[in-house]
Amino acid sequence: MGALSPYEYFNRIKPKIEELESSKGTLDYFDKYDIILPEIEQTREKIVRSLPPMLLGAAMMKIALDYYDSLDYETKDTDGTEIDTEYKIDLIAEKNDEVIVVQVKSGEISRQEFQEFISEAKKFLEEHHSSKKVRKLAVVADKLDSDADFSGIGKRLGEAEIGLEYEAPERIINELPKYRRHFKELREIHQQDS
């Protein structure tokens, strides 16, 4: 028998939650609470563990979108579009006369992935946003390959009047506290399972 789906895990624990709710205001509430709460926590962990590792990448994308939204950018998720496949851009953030094209990656971005993104995203900015005063490329990833030459590429882009930013997920999450607990937990569980 395979792992249960999150829905199946929830259905298993739902009667316990209802039992606890129905005992509110009674003397045996705290006894039930002490018994049921650990079961709820175990089930919650099983639900998170049953989620595919790909969800971590999707969570990072959602967090990146919300982060740029919180900075008053108008954001566009490019997943599955020509912009994503041809230019390696996951999201576009625009505000006034500024555009930021972003690649979001769960885990480490390799030197090759980084260089492909820089090359293609630069081409995209030159073809589609040459009139913008502020043009930036941004990478949101856990780690950059140590051979990625971030500063050298940043210098070359600067000559083309294109900025380069690296955003660590932890820094973004500090700006968006609603994600701290869930993202940290999801990451820890998937690291344990790897």
Whether residue 51 has pLDDT greater than 60: yes
Question: Domain-by-domain residue ranges, the chain?
Answer: 6-50, 55-175
Whole-number Å distance between alpha carbons of 146 and 23 = 56
Whether residue 90 has pLDDT greater than 90: yes
Whole-number Å distance between alpha carbons of 139 and 141 = 6
Is the Cβ–Cβ distance between 142 and 107 less than 8 Å? yes
What is the Cα Rg of the chain in Å? 22
pTM for the predicted model, two decimal places: 0.68
CATH of 55-175, one of 3.40.50.1820, 3.20.20.70, 3.40.1350.10, 1.10.10.60: 3.40.1350.10
pLDDT at 1: 44
Tell me the range of 135-139, 143-147, 161-165, 189-193 where mean pLDDT is highest: 135-139
Is the Cβ–Cβ distance between 89 and 120 less than 8 Å? yes
- Cα 170 to its chain centre, rounded Å, is 10
Reported as a pLDDT band with limits 50, 70 and 90, residue 144 is: confident
